[in-house]
């Protein structure tokens, strides 16, 4: 996600996150993950994915890999490795 520098700090990023999560929840997605700023995404309910034993298939700081339950307890008892495709890792 990115907001054009001149338009940052006007709430656009927050709205994109909230709308994105809403649109993911509507068709039934139960959770979402993000690799991002650890001081930013927790504002919207994201927590460290390691809390649920979820890992990534490449190295990132623990606090930068986050997840959120869109349905209550949907990540409870879930463990595993999220496999992001190669182009993502080349970014």
Question: Residues 3, 25, 33, 84: which binds ligand COA (CB under 6 A)?
Answer: 3
Q: How many residues bind ligand COA (CB under 6 A)?
A: 14
Question: Residues 20, 24, 33, 40: which binds ligand COA (CB under 6 A)?
Answer: 40
Give the CA dihedral 52, 82, 44, 26, nearest 10 degrees: -110
Mark the segment that binds ligand COA (CB under 6 A) among 1-9, 54-62, 67-75, 78-86: 1-9
Minimum CB distance to ligand COA smaller for 8 or for 57? 8
Q: Whole-angstrom Cα distance, residue 32 to residue 69? A: 7
Residue nearest to ligand COA (CB): 13
Question: Residues 20, 25, 30, 36: which binds ligand COA (CB under 6 A)?
Answer: 36
Nearest to 88 by CA among 63, 66, 61, 56: 56
Angle at 71 between CA 49 and CA 18, to 5 degrees: 75
């Amino acid at each position: 996600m990115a907001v054009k520098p001149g338009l940052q700090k006007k709430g656009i990023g927050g709205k994109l996150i909230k709308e994105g999560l809403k649109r993911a929840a509507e068709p039934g997605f139960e959770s979402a993950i993000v690799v991002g700023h650890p001081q930013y995404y927790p504002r919207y309910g994201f927590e460290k994915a390691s809390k649920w034993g979820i890992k990534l298939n490449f190295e990132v700081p623990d606090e930068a890999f986050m997840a959120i339950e869109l349905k209550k307890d949907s990540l409870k008892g879930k463990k595993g490795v999220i496999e992001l495709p190669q182009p993502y890792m080349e970014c």
